[in-house]
Amino acid sequence: METFSERVAAWVRAVPSGRVVTYGQLATLAGSPGAARQVSGVLRRETLRDAWFPWHRVVNAQGGISTYKVGEGELQAALLAREGVMVVDGALRLEVYLWRPAEDGPPPKPNR
């Protein structure tokens, strides 16, 4: 059985380039609604393990860049811009860039 961390990581890896998900959306997709804060810990750990992990595709519920004691999100905004996501004043338009797996594509397959 996959752990919460494994499920979150799988969902983040499934987010297509040019799309974003929110922390709360990931928690729900991973089967733990209300665990949005735990998602950030998973992102930190996965980024340390895998330099190519697409952590930058995760934003807060308002479409804002969420940084924890690290700058103002310049790196995340630059990575998103490379994928065609426009970040203005530290936020993006969720109605344009939010990934909706049910509409936009299938869920990830378990890593086995």
Residue pair 90/64 in contact (Cβ under 8 Å)? The answer is yes
Q: Residue 75 above 50 pLDDT? A: yes
Count of domains observed in the chain: 1
Statement: residue 111 has pLDDT above 70: no
80-105 tens-digit pLDDT: 999 999 999 989 999 999 999 887 65
Distances, alpha carbon 14 to alpha carbons 30, 61, 104, 108, in Å: 12, 19, 11, 6
Domain of 93, CATH number, reads 1.10.10.10
Could you list the residue range(s) of the whole structural domain that residue 69 is in? 4-97
Burial (CB count <10 Å: 0-12, 13-18, 19+), residue 2: middle
Instruction: For residue 21, give both structure tokens.
Output: 């998900």
What is this structure's pTM? Answer: 0.88
Q: Would residue 109 count as lying in a domain? A: no
Average pLDDT over residues 16-30: 96
**pLDDT tens digits, residue range 53-74?**
999 999 999 999 976 555 668 8
Report helix, strand or coil for 11.
Answer: helix
